[in-house]
Amino acid sequence: MASTSVTDAQLITFESQANEKIREAVSVEVEVRYRGLPDGYVGPVHVITILGVDSNMRCGTHVSNPSHLQLFYTKKDYINHLLESESQLTKILKNGPEDLVDLANNLQASVKLSQKEETNINEKSKFAIIHSKDGDTDYASVLISEMDFEELVLITIGGYKTDK
């Protein structure tokens, strides 16, 4: 790669390909070479070949197949942040990680429904009902004179009658 930096998309692609090879458990071959080494290099060189992937000169001990690595990732802090966020969401929503997407969709639908209901409630009503237990005709007259309405208004005053 001629680039001096790796883009996020390239990093994701690389991680995905590396993890696929880990899952495939492709064979790793180690060949020890003593001849044909660069000038000035002394000692054996291990040539590590991951079949169908790469061949490199390395020193030391290596795994027999990449599945021994379990998982490859380059942004450990990012993954830890994602896991912590998931943990917090499962606590807040009181459900398992596998249900988070469904719960988020349900919450969004609920918010939209609540907003629609609020809009409907806030629209100007076509009628009004006003009752005052302690009101009298003067109260009703003042109320009517102060109201600016074009719709039906029902004004009731007085307490409830009880049978004796």
- Supply the pLDDT for residue 110: 94
* DSSP labels, the chain: ---SS--HHHHHHHHHHHHHHHHHT--EEEEEE-SSPPTT--S-EEEEEETTTEEEEE-S---SSGGGG----S-HHHHHHHHHHHHHHHHHHTS-GGGHHHHHHHHHHHHHHHHHHHHHHHSPPSEEEEEETT--HHHHHHHHHH---SSEEEEEES------
- Supply the pLDDT for residue 98: 92
Delimiting residues of CATH 3.30.980.10 domain(s) in the chain: 8-69
CA 9 – CA 4 distance, rounded (Å): 15
The answer to whether residues 76 and 84 touch, using CB atoms and an 8 Å cutoff, is: no
- Supply the pLDDT for residue 40: 81
Question: In the numeric block, which tokens belong to residue 142?
Answer: 């003042």
- Supply the pLDDT for residue 121: 72
- Supply the pLDDT for residue 161: 72
Q: What is the pLDDT along the chain (164 residues), one digit of tens a residue?
A: 466 787 878 888 888 888 888 888 888 888 888 777 778 877 787 888 888 888 877 754 567 777 776 666 667 777 778 888 999 999 998 999 999 999 999 999 999 999 988 887 767 667 777 888 888 888 888 888 887 767 777 888 887 777 65
- Supply the pLDDT for residue 81: 83
CA 53 – CA 28 distance, rounded (Å): 10
- Supply the pLDDT for residue 133: 86
- Supply the pLDDT for residue 164: 58
Give the architecture-level CATH label for domain 8-69: 2-Layer Sandwich (3.30)
- Supply the pLDDT for residue 59: 52
pTM: 0.36
